[in-house]
Structure 1
Amino acid sequence: MNGPILQERPASSASWRVALPHSAAAVPVARALVRTALAELEHGADSDTAELLTAELVANAVEHTTGDAPIELVVELLPSGCRVEVHDPDPAPPGDLTAPATGAPDPWQEHGRGLLLIRALSSSCGHRATGSGKAVWFRLPTVPPQRRAI
């Protein structure tokens, strides 16, 4: 696995691009990387939500793609929030990411809620084709700092 590559951008922005293994081990690594990226810069995006949604994207990429090509995590911190992308080698779009599915998910099924969580908790989400497959992404806005009790 390659280490993170920090790319400085103008206007207090930064981005990380990290190759992850095509295995379930990628999920906790991706969560930790997002948590670290948001904490190191004291970024105002909700870290818990960013970790949860990142875990969903990475788990979907591992589960729904074949082969052993690495999955790539891209975290972009912007003054207005953060954008997280997960790149995988499968060009097929990720189900109903941007449009609600018809009907509620079956409460007895273990799967089927990841895209619903991403739609519900992100400020925007989507997917795009890449030269080697697709990128699935979400955005979170910055959250104002909590007021401390005196």
Structure 2
Amino acid sequence: MTAPTNSHKGTEEWHQTFLGRVEQVRAVRRFVKTHLPDHPDADLIASELATNAVEHTRTGQPGGIFTTTVKHHPDGTAFIEIADQGGPITFGIRTPTREGGRGLHLITALTTAWGVNGDAAGRIVWVRLPPPTP
């Protein structure tokens, strides 16, 4: 899948880079909640994406980083992406087990679309969120 692009006037966009450590996931949640307060699931979604970056890519190795981008569009839709440092693992929906594998099913259920761009050298995992329910 290809990440959506948006050239609409009025789109607000924020970026922040985080250290590739598990304790940074909480900071990602705050960052997303600050910029998308009307999207109640946005911080949960970003948390899952950030956790995957830290646990399944080179981002989680010493010195690793990842960048979170948040966009809010005039029509109420939103976009979140996590750019990591890649690695041998590819993202995809796995069969859930007792120990994990449900996160991307959650992402699928809470977003209108999601995808992955990149390769072992670096990936961007993105999601598109619907407008908030009135």
Asked whether the two chains share a fold, i.e. TM above 0.5, the reply is yes
Cα separation, 1, equivalents of 2:124 and 2:8: 24
Structure 1 pair 144–116 and aligned structure 2 pair: CA distance change class (3 A): closer
Question: TM-score of the superposition, structure 1-length normalised?
Answer: 0.73
Shift of 1:111: 1.1
2:46 is matched with: 54
Gaps of 5+ in 2: 1-6
**TM superposition outliers: structure 1 runs of 4+ over 3 Å:** none
Shift of 1:120: 1.3
Higher relative contact order (CA 8 A, sep 6+): 2
Report the 3-state secondary structure (helix = DSSP H, G, I; strand = E; otherwise coil) of the residue aligned with 1:11. Answer: coil
Structure 1 pair 26–125 and aligned structure 2 pair: CA distance change class (3 A): same
In structure 2, which of residues 27, 42, 56 is the aligned counterpart of residue 64 of structure 1?
56
Task: Check conservation: 1:93, 1:134, Cα contact below 8 A.
Answer: no
Shift of 1:10: 5.5
Cα separation, 1, equivalents of 2:8 and 2:127: 21
1:85 is matched with: 81
Report the 3-state secondary structure (helix = DSSP H, G, I; strand = E; otherwise coil) of the residue aligned with 1:25. Answer: helix
Shift of 1:122: 0.5
Report the 3-state secondary structure (helix = DSSP H, G, I; strand = E; otherwise coil) of the residue aligned with 2:47. Answer: helix
Tell me the percent identity.
Answer: 32
Cα separation, 2, equivalents of 1:11 and 1:141: 18
CA offsets per residue over residues 67-115 of structure 1, 9 Å max, x none?
Answer: 222111010111231100001011553123xxxx5xx623xx1311011
Q: How do 1:69-148 residues align onto structure 2 when only pairs under 5 Å count?
A: 69-80=64-75, 81-90=77-86, 92-96=89-93, 101=94, 105-106=96-97, 109-129=98-118, 133-145=122-134
Task: Check conservation: 1:124, 1:139, Cα contact below 8 A.
Answer: yes
Which AA in structure 2 matches 1:35? K
Cα separation, 2, equivalents of 1:37 and 1:78: 12
Gaps of 5+ in 1: 1-8, 146-150
| Corresponding residue pairs, total | 123
